[in-house]
């Protein structure tokens, strides 16, 4: 192509039958060459044109098939000094004008842009421009060829759209698969938890009732001993009977025993209460068979989840709670519990030695918010962009799936809510979940 142009540098000169050689010198063309060039220009599918190499690139020559392709007569195109510039799609102008200066350093440029035809429709054009210089190297003019590439562009667009659709489909599939994986995992964890809760419930039940009886019996027993004690006062201290009884009492350390048995029973009852709470938390957490939407108490969800992860967290983090007053929220509470759990575990993981996990809640208009902040390692801005992506993890290989937050995102989206994150390296991280109280009235997110 370049060689071809070297054969005739200046189209406007064509009529004067001169031809430029590669060195830029203009030599007269033979009548045969002129006729040949004339024929080529008029019969290529492209529009051949020339323009001045300055300003708005006023066109100085346009081949006649401009009429066929664009619907303009070459004369009107040449007559208007701004014709070229004025017909380029406004969105495509910047990419051309930001780089057209390179035409003067490199000698040629190629552009693809939309050009307005006479019926006000934009036609995609492929434009190859070449700068022509005189013998001294000064720019004389620009020669170009415009080819209609609308069809190719349409095909490309269709292909791209298809590609995007495919990509979206793949993503949907991937999400569905993760959800399935996770819900399977959670279902079995939930079932396990519910099973354990049930198994523990029975023995805890009878131990609890026995402890109640024991407490009563111990009370009665000590009462009897007290009565004996009173009788004991009446026995003469010098008698052998008195002395033997006094020795037995001493050995048994009756006073200490009385105090301690009461403590032991009380502590055992406290311990049992805690076991019962944990069992209740396991039940609340698993909510086996409660896959349906229900009005739930978010605080209860937070509490039961905290109870479960407390052991993992307590050596590292102090949990500070600041609960507002929340109305019941229509939600899938067991799924929200999964989200809370992952936030707590992530927060605790981010804390190296010791720190604070702050859990606060509140209401704003028709929404509730739950905020989990930690004083952990924080997340770099680079990583922050990716944390909700499936399989993104900074945990060592084998210890994290990187699914926690992507699932959290999916679950919150299902509730038409939002999950936001703020983080500063070295300072800590805050996740805020916002949930509509009545998701059925909220717009999809």
Ligand X SMILES: Nc1ncnc2c1ncn2[C@@H]1O[C@H](COP(=O)(O)OP(=O)(O)OP(=O)(O)O)[C@@H](O)[C@H]1O
Query: For Mg ion, what does the binding mask look like between residues 350 and 389, x meaning CB under 5 A?
Result: ----------------------------------------
Q: Does 401 bind ligand X (CB under 6 A)?
A: yes
67, 105, 305 from 272: Cα distances, Å: 94, 86, 19
Considering only the stretches 76-84, 251-259, 271-279, 374-382, report the one whose residues sit in contact with ligand X under the rule CB under 6 A: 374-382
- Please, what is the angle between helix 404-414 and helix 333-350, to 10°? 150
Q: Does 183 bind ligand X (CB under 6 A)?
A: no
Figure out which of the listed residues 350, 359, 433, 435 binds ligand X, where binding follows CB under 6 A. Answer: 350
Q: For residues 404 and 436, which CB has a smaller minimum distance to Mg ion in the complex?
A: 404
Q: For residues 144 and 404, which CB has a smaller minimum distance to ligand X in the complex?
A: 404
Figure out which of the listed residues 308, 347, 359, 435 binds ligand X, where binding follows CB under 6 A. Answer: 347
Least spacing, CB of residue 90 vs ligand X, in Å? 43
Query: For Mg ion, what does the binding mask look like between residues 383 and 412, x meaning CB under 5 A?
Result: ---------------------x--------
Residue nearest to Mg ion (CB): 404
Q: Does 317 bind ligand X (CB under 6 A)?
A: no
- How many angstroms separate the CA atoms of 127 and 118, rounded? 18
Least spacing, CB of residue 436 vs ligand X, in Å? 24
Q: Does 395 bind ligand X (CB under 6 A)?
A: yes
Using a CB cutoff of 8 Å and minimum separation of 24, what contacts does 24-29 make? Answer: 24/132, 24/133, 24/134, 24/135, 24/137, 25/135
Q: How far is CA 439 from the centre of its chain?
A: 21
Q: Does 323 bind ligand X (CB under 6 A)?
A: no
- How many angstroms separate the CA atoms of 341 and 286, rounded? 12
The burial of 335, by beta-carbon neighbours within 10 Å (0-12 exposed, 13-18 middle, 19 or more buried), is given as: buried
Figure out which of the listed residues 393, 410, 437, 439 binds ligand X, where binding follows CB under 6 A. Answer: 393
Q: Does 355 bind ligand X (CB under 6 A)?
A: no
Q: For residues 313 and 350, which CB has a smaller minimum distance to ligand X in the complex?
A: 350
Considering only the stretches 176-184, 263-271, 387-395, 411-419, report the one whose residues sit in contact with ligand X under the rule CB under 6 A: 387-395
- Give the number of residues in contact with Mg ion, rule: CB under 5 A: 3
Q: Which of ligand X, Mg ion, none does residue 307 bind to, with CB < 5 to 8 Å depending on kind?
A: none
Q: For residues 13 and 346, which CB has a smaller minimum distance to Mg ion in the complex?
A: 346
26, 186, 297, 299 from 308: Cα distances, Å: 90, 14, 17, 14
Q: Look up residue 154 and give its two tokens.
A: 């349409």
State the pairing for strand pair 122-133/108-116: antiparallel
Least spacing, CB of residue 403 vs Mg ion, in Å? 8
Q: Are 5 and 21 in contact (CB under 8 A)?
A: no
- How many angstroms separate the CA atoms of 146 and 61, rounded? 13
Using CA of residue 370, residue 372, residue 378, residue 383, what is the dihedral sign? negative
- Give the number of residues in contact with ligand X, rule: CB under 6 A: 22
Residue nearest to ligand X (CB): 404
| Bridge partners of residue 295, in order along the sequence | 330
Sequence-distant (≥ 6) Cβ neighbours of residue 84 within 8 angstroms: 51, 56, 57, 58, 59, 77
Q: Does 296 bind ligand X (CB under 6 A)?
A: no
Q: Does 419 bind ligand X (CB under 6 A)?
A: no
Q: For residues 53 and 355, which CB has a smaller minimum distance to Mg ion in the complex?
A: 355
Q: Look up residue 390 and give its two tokens.
A: 């499936």
Figure out which of the listed residues 405, 411, 435, 437 binds ligand X, where binding follows CB under 6 A. Answer: 405
**Neighbour-count burial for 10-41, b at 16+ CB within 10 Å, e otherwise:** bbbbbeeebbbeeebebeebeeeebeebeeeb
Q: Does 400 bind ligand X (CB under 6 A)?
A: yes
Q: Look up residue 32 and give its two tokens.
A: 């045969």
3-state secondary structure of 304: helix
Q: Which residues from 239-268 bind ligand X, rule CB under 6 A? A: none
Residues of the shown chain interacting with ligand X in the complex, contacts defined by CB under 6 A: 342, 346-347, 350, 374, 376-377, 379, 383, 387, 392-395, 400-406, 429
Residues of the shown chain interacting with Mg ion in the complex, contacts defined by CB under 5 A: 342, 346, 404
């Amino acid at each position: 192509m370049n060689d071809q142009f070297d054969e005739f540098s200046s189209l406007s000169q064509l009529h004067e039958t001169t031809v430029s050689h590669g060195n830029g010198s203009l030599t007269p063309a033979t009548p045969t060459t002129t006729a040949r060039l004339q024929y080529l220009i008029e019969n290529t599918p492209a529009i051949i044109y020339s323009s001045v190499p300055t300003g708005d690139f006023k066109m100085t020559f346009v081949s006649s098939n401009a009429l066929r392709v664009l619907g303009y007569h070459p004369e009107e195109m040449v007559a208007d000094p701004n014709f070229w510039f004025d017909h380029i799609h406004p969105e495509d102008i910047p990419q051309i004008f930001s780089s057209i200066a390179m035409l003067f350093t490199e000698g040629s440029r190629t552009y693809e842009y939309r050009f307005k035809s006479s019926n006000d429709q934009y036609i995609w054009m492929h434009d190859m421009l070449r700068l022509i210089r005189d013998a001294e190297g000064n720019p004389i003019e620009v020669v170009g060829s415009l080819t209609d590439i609308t069809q190719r562009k349409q095909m490309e667009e269709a292909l791209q759209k298809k590609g995007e659709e495919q990509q979206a489909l793949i993503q949907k599939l991937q999400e569905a698969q993760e959800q399935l994986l996770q819900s399977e995992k959670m279902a079995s964890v939930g079932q396990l938890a519910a099973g354990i809760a049930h198994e523990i419930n029975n023995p805890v039940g009878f131990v609890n009732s026995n402890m109640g009886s024991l407490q009563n019996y111990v009370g009665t027993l000590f009462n009897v001993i007290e009565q004996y004690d009173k009788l004991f006062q009446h026995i003469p201290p010098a008698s052998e009977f008195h002395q033997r009884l006094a020795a037995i009492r001493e050995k048994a350390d009756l006073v200490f025993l009385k105090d301690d048995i009461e403590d032991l029973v009380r502590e055992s009852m406290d311990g049992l209460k805690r076991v019962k709470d944990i069992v209740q938390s396991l039940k609340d957490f698993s909510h086996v068979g409660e896959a349906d939407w229900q009005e739930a108490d978010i605080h209860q969800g937070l509490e039961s989840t905290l109870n479960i992860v407390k052991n993992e967290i307590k050596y590292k983090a102090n949990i500070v709670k600041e609960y507002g007053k929340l109305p019941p929220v229509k939600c899938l509470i067991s799924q929200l519990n999964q989200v809370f759990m992952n936030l707590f575990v992530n927060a605790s993981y981010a804390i190296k030695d010791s720190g604070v996990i702050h859990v606060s809640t509140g209401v704003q208009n028709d929404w509730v918010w739950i905020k989990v902040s930690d004083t952990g390692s924080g997340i770099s801005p680079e990583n922050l962009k990716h944390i909700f992506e499936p399989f993104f993890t900074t945990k060592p290989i084998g210890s994290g799936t990187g699914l926690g937050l992507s699932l959290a995102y999916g679950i919150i989206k299902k509730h038409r809510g939002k999950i936001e994150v703020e983080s500063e390296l070295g300072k800590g991280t805050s996740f805020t979940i916002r949930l509509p109280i009545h998701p059925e009235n909220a717009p999809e997110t």
